[in-house]
Chain A
Amino acid sequence: MLNKIKAIRWSALFTNKKTKRMDFWSISKVVVFLVFLIFLLYPFVSLFMRSFFDVDGNFSLVNFETFVSFKYYYGTLFNSLLVAVVTTISAVLIGVPLAYLTARYNVWGKRIVNVMIVMSLMSPPFIGAYSWIMLLGRNGVITNTLANIGINVPSIYGFVGIILVFTLKLYPYVYLYVSGALNSIDSSLEEAAENLGMSKFRRIMSVTFPVIMPTIAAGGIMVFMSSLADFGTPMLIGEGFKVLPVLVYEEFMSEVGGNAGLASALSIIIVSFSTIVLLFQKRVIDKKVYNMSSLRPPVVTKLRTLPRVLLSGLTFLVATITFLPQIVVVVTSFIKTKGPLFVSGFSLDSYRTIFYKLGTNIRNTFTFSFIAIIIIIVLGIIIAYLITKRRSKSSEVLDVLVMFPYVIPGAVLGIGLALAFKNPPLAITGTPIIMIVAYVIRKMPYTVRSSSAMLQQVDQSIEEASINLGVSPMRSFFKITARLMLPGIVSGAILSWISTINELSSSIMLYTGKTATISVAIYTEVVRASFGTAAALASILTLATVVSFILFHIISKGKVSVV
């Protein structure tokens, strides 16, 4: 009897092993894990380790000591946090009312307003800074015009400028999140409150507001994290007001006194802050988000003509200011320049210059991004499948790994990669490969998220039906499931693509003369005060972004959110 049981157990073990032989998905899983291990964990962990070593390679806390003892260093952390907090507050103050206005009142031109706001969210990160300098900077159009009639505009450089640019660039997150939430509140909820005899104001405060509160917080956190991590804007417009990512860049880049250990320590400090914020979101806020699908969409208040004109004008004004940088960039790209100065009259000189001088950068941007996007699509589909349809311990780990780049600012990822792959066996620092790696790791989340959202709606049994009819699991996946999640994949890939061609913060840590991209070139051109060529380059990026975005809109049919 005992023997028989034993025999069964043994045979069970054996068959178990046999049925669990390496199939397509197990191999894919191993490959994906290897990619993350080598290109995300290894660089990050070695960055972490490096922060605990001094210049001579001895273990020490000297980097952190330096940080806390000099105001020059720790001051940047305060600056960064101050910028993030103020930006978040002002983004909420603009985003929420604007979302409420467009969701609940019959203002004109909602679609245009929406497109302008989304477009500015998708635009290259630093053209805001560039454009506002063009308008309100030392030699800005508005500054000069007002100076002529005797009005002195306060300086835009430093804290004020950073806040202005960040707020206008990032409030769209809050706006889009909250609009989504407001449109999915079932009208019966608010009607119930009305039934109970509440005034409109009390109704908003006691019903609508609490329901969308977690969404506001989620949008706010996106703003907070982005403003903490961004590097281009404060670099261009911050001048004396230094934030942490800029310090990281300087420590890492400066020929003299550059200190990889200190740069690593600073990186770790930023990452810890964004990790805390993200954990807070996961633990506290995500749990409170109400997932409502509205059966009856909320009522849109019909305004009388005068208030309607006023409110429409207001929305349009805000949207236009948000969109202004893109207009400024395109317009200035056609203005005649003389050295760093704009002179009156239009010309295509700036474009001639960039195609002649900076053609490599343009080619680089599109080749690197194209290769990156192909890899992102392949890995993204596989990862989306593993984390949505093959739930297991390892796929949960994968889920976290994919989203991890969210909390790592691009500059930090760039430094990590640059240091980790400086030496053989994998000496790819300085080559196009490392740029592509950075893009793949950093921009994959868009594709994974949108693909897995789509995949969640594809019933597992549809794929099984195909297997059952005699098609192998791998071919069933590509013939049926992948086909059905295609809109999600393509939409996500376009978002990844837009974000990749506009990427600055990791590129700037990784580029060499041969691998510089458009973003890097815009940055260096602005630093050299060649504003015309910078504008022409930025216009090319903007054009590529607009075209991609239109494609995205057609393919996603409004079903995939950009945030």
Chain B
Amino acid sequence: MSVNVNIKEVVKEYGDFRAIDDVSLSIKEGEFFTLLGPSGCGKTTLLRMIAGFNSIEEGEIYFADKMINNEAAHKRDIGMVFQNYAVFPHLSVYDNVGYGLKARKVPKDEAAKRIQNALEVVQIEHLKDRMPSQLSGGQQQRVALARAIVIEPKILLMDEPLSNLDAKLRVQMRTTIKKLQRKLNITTIYVTHDQEEALAISDRIAVMNKGEVMQVDKPNVIYSNPSCEFVSNFIGTSNFLKGKVVADNTIEVDGYTFHKNINATVGEDVLVSVRPEQFAVSQTDEGLAGEIVLSTFLGDFISYDIELANGQSIEVNEYTQNIDEAKPEGPVKVCLSAKDINVFDAEGKVNLNA
């Protein structure tokens, strides 16, 4: 039985420092929701407010219709997977998983069934008599996961559960988690600072910075339509160019003009954000003047490091299927695919795309 979570204008203060600054989020029932942001932006802080380990200075948090600000942590009925797993070192795998059921006074035979089931779901059934010290990191991570889901919580919280694993296991485990979440249909709030992981796993993502939420949306929207310079920069790679609106829906960058439907007035300075694949080496004489400094063959595509006339370096990617071989180093013109790019105001705070 999962619930929706409503976070309304919450604030967390450490002394004078606002770690969470007026954050509002509304997370749907059964949704896989991710908090994504750079280190120190307040992801853990917010998650711990939901779990009940941090006080809430202002605002309210609701599970379904129930305000839980003053509900003690042990009564919130939340499953949580800690960053360092926090597996109880003195209990066997089986007892670790059964711990929450004991606290809930679940009858013995039912508990046994549920523990068995949880162990099978995360595929560590064969390890149930081991002590945590005899487990690998990935196995401990599964114990933590089994322990959190066996209580059939209303909400599942995960704080960077994969950050201690090696790259290969990380990809494998994230698939496991995603499938499991689908199957159990628990409202899940997942924390990570790894944008690739967030894009791969989430239904929706909240991008955070310095205690504030910058954008909440589906992964594809966040990638293709970032709300501001920060998001555009944090998710994927973006090149930023200074431009000016010279006529209605016409932007000029360093002598190169192109059309783009935007909500801006003529004469306004803008920031143009271009993904490497939204650039192309121009076949004509039109485009930004620059010089190929380095070209790197990367299989699917070739990456050019191009120095523009104003000294700025940009990254340009060209898919190999469209071309025969890498352009030689030397002067080129670069054009861009105007309909795909994003244009922000000069401060990078507002997306002006129409």
Q: Which of A473-516 contact B (CB under 8 A)?
A: 473, 476, 480, 483-484
- A464 pairs with B70, CB closer than 8 A: no
For residue B104, CB closer than 8 A to chain A, the reply is yes
Say how far B299's CB is from chain A's closest CB, in angstroms. 41
Residue from B51, B77, B82, B86 with most neighbouring chain A CB atoms (10 Å):
B86
- A483 pairs with B90, CB closer than 8 A: yes
- B86 pairs with A464, CB closer than 8 A: yes
- A464 pairs with B88, CB closer than 8 A: no
- A15 pairs with B74, CB closer than 8 A: no
For residue B298, CB closer than 8 A to chain A, the reply is no
- A480 pairs with B88, CB closer than 8 A: yes
C-alpha spacing A419/B331, complex, angstroms = 94
C-alpha spacing A467/B77, complex, angstroms = 10
Closest to A483 in B: B90
For residue A56, CB closer than 8 A to chain B, the reply is no
Say how far A408's CB is from chain B's closest CB, in angstroms. 35
C-alpha spacing A12/B11, complex, angstroms = 10
Residues on the B chain within 8 Å of A11, using CB: 58
What is the count of residue pairs linking A and B with beta-carbon distances less than 8 angstroms?
A: 80
Residues on the A chain within 8 Å of B249, using CB: none
C-alpha spacing A9/B59, complex, angstroms = 10
Write the B44-64 contact mask toward A (1 if CB under 8 angstroms, else 0). 000000011101111100000
A residues near B, CB below 8 A? 8-9, 11-12, 15-16, 18-20, 459, 461-462, 464-473, 476, 480, 483-484
- A469 pairs with B99, CB closer than 8 A: yes
B residues near A, CB below 8 A? 9, 11, 51-53, 55-59, 69-70, 72-75, 77-80, 82-84, 86-90, 99-100, 103-104, 144, 147, 151
Contacts A12-B57, A15-B56, A16-B55 given; does A470 touch B88 at CB 8 Å = no
- B82 pairs with A465, CB closer than 8 A: yes
Contacts A465-B80, A469-B103, A470-B100 given; does A459 touch B86 at CB 8 Å = yes
C-alpha spacing A464/B90, complex, angstroms = 16
Residues on the B chain within 8 Å of A464, using CB: 51, 53, 73, 80, 82, 86
User: Contact check: which of B53, B69, B144 meets A15 at CB < 8 Å?
Assistant: B69
Say how far B291's CB is from chain A's closest CB, in angstroms. 48
C-alpha spacing A467/B73, complex, angstroms = 7
Say how far A97's CB is from chain B's closest CB, in angstroms. 40
Residues on the B chain within 8 Å of A8, using CB: 9, 58-59
Residues on the A chain within 8 Å of B89, using CB: 462, 484
- B86 pairs with A484, CB closer than 8 A: no
User: Contact check: which of A16, A19, A462, A472 meets B88 at CB < 8 Å?
Assistant: A462
C-alpha spacing A471/B103, complex, angstroms = 6
Residues on the A chain within 8 Å of B55, using CB: 16, 19-20
Closest 9 CB pairs of A and B: A469-B100, A470-B103, A465-B86, A461-B86, A461-B82, A12-B58, A468-B80, A471-B103, A467-B74
C-alpha spacing A14/B280, complex, angstroms = 59
Residue from A8, A18, A469 with most neighbouring chain B CB atoms (10 Å):
A469
Say how far B140's CB is from chain A's closest CB, in angstroms. 12
Residues on the B chain within 8 Å of A471, using CB: 74, 99, 103
Given contact pairs A16-B55, A461-B86, A468-B74, a sample of 14 additional A-B residue pairs in the complex whose CB atoms are under 8 Å apart = A12-B57, A462-B88, A464-B51, A464-B82, A465-B87, A465-B147, A466-B99, A467-B52, A468-B78, A469-B147, A470-B104, A470-B151, A472-B74, A476-B74
C-alpha spacing A276/B104, complex, angstroms = 55
Residues on the A chain within 8 Å of B59, using CB: 8
- B75 pairs with A468, CB closer than 8 A: no
Residues on the B chain within 8 Å of A12, using CB: 11, 57-58
C-alpha spacing A319/B87, complex, angstroms = 45
Residues on the B chain within 8 Å of A476, using CB: 74
* Interface majority SS (helix, strand, loop, mixed), chain A: helix
Say how far B71's CB is from chain A's closest CB, in angstroms. 10
C-alpha spacing A476/B99, complex, angstroms = 11
Say how far B264's CB is from chain A's closest CB, in angstroms. 30
C-alpha spacing A466/B88, complex, angstroms = 9
User: Contact check: which of A459, A462, A473, A480 meets B73 at CB < 8 Å?
Assistant: A473
Residue from A12, A462, A470, A484 with most neighbouring chain B CB atoms (10 Å):
A470
Can you identify 25 A-B contacts, CB atoms within 8 angstroms? Answer: A8-B9, A8-B59, A9-B58, A11-B58, A12-B58, A459-B84, A459-B86, A462-B86, A462-B87, A462-B89, A464-B80, A464-B82, A465-B82, A465-B144, A465-B147, A466-B88, A468-B51, A468-B78, A469-B103, A469-B151, A470-B151, A473-B72, A476-B74, A480-B88, A484-B90
Closest to B104 in A: A470
Residue from A12, A20, A473, A484 with most neighbouring chain B CB atoms (10 Å):
A12
- A470 pairs with B51, CB closer than 8 A: no
Residues on the A chain within 8 Å of B83, using CB: 461
C-alpha spacing A465/B72, complex, angstroms = 14
Residues on the A chain within 8 Å of B88, using CB: 462, 465-466, 480
- B77 pairs with A470, CB closer than 8 A: yes
C-alpha spacing A152/B179, complex, angstroms = 92
Residues on the A chain within 8 Å of B144, using CB: 465
Residues on the A chain within 8 Å of B147, using CB: 465, 469
Residues on the A chain within 8 Å of B90, using CB: 483-484
Residues on the A chain within 8 Å of B70, using CB: 15, 18-19
Residues on the A chain within 8 Å of B87, using CB: 462, 465
Closest to A469 in B: B100
Contacts A8-B58, A12-B57 given; does A470 touch B86 at CB 8 Å = no
Residues on the A chain within 8 Å of B104, using CB: 470
Closest to B159 in A: A461
Residues on the B chain within 8 Å of A483, using CB: 90
Say how far A188's CB is from chain B's closest CB, in angstroms. 28
Residues on the B chain within 8 Å of A462, using CB: 86-89
Say how far A220's CB is from chain B's closest CB, in angstroms. 38
Residues on the A chain within 8 Å of B75, using CB: 470
- A473 pairs with B74, CB closer than 8 A: yes
C-alpha spacing A468/B53, complex, angstroms = 9
- A461 pairs with B84, CB closer than 8 A: yes
User: Contact check: which of B51, B58, B69 meets A19 at CB < 8 Å?
Assistant: B69
Residues on the A chain within 8 Å of B72, using CB: 472-473
Say how far A84's CB is from chain B's closest CB, in angstroms. 44
C-alpha spacing A473/B151, complex, angstroms = 18
C-alpha spacing A490/B57, complex, angstroms = 40
C-alpha spacing A483/B90, complex, angstroms = 8
User: Contact check: which of A9, A459, A461, A470 meets B74 at CB < 8 Å?
Assistant: A470
Say how far B149's CB is from chain A's closest CB, in angstroms. 12
Closest to A20 in B: B55
Residues on the B chain within 8 Å of A466, using CB: 88, 99
Closest to A21 in B: B70
Residues on the B chain within 8 Å of A484, using CB: 89-90
Residues on the A chain within 8 Å of B78, using CB: 468
Say how far A1's CB is from chain B's closest CB, in angstroms. 14
C-alpha spacing A18/B56, complex, angstroms = 11
C-alpha spacing A19/B52, complex, angstroms = 10
Residue from B58, B69, B104 with most neighbouring chain A CB atoms (10 Å):
B58
Residue from A465, A467, A473, A483 with most neighbouring chain B CB atoms (10 Å):
A465
C-alpha spacing A480/B100, complex, angstroms = 13
Residues on the A chain within 8 Å of B77, using CB: 470
Residues on the B chain within 8 Å of A473, using CB: 72-74
Say how far B23's CB is from chain A's closest CB, in angstroms. 14
Residues on the B chain within 8 Å of A16, using CB: 55, 57
C-alpha spacing A18/B55, complex, angstroms = 10
Residues on the B chain within 8 Å of A459, using CB: 84, 86
Closest to B53 in A: A464
C-alpha spacing A20/B79, complex, angstroms = 24
Residues on the A chain within 8 Å of B99, using CB: 466, 469, 471
Closest to B98 in A: A469
C-alpha spacing A19/B57, complex, angstroms = 10
C-alpha spacing A18/B67, complex, angstroms = 14
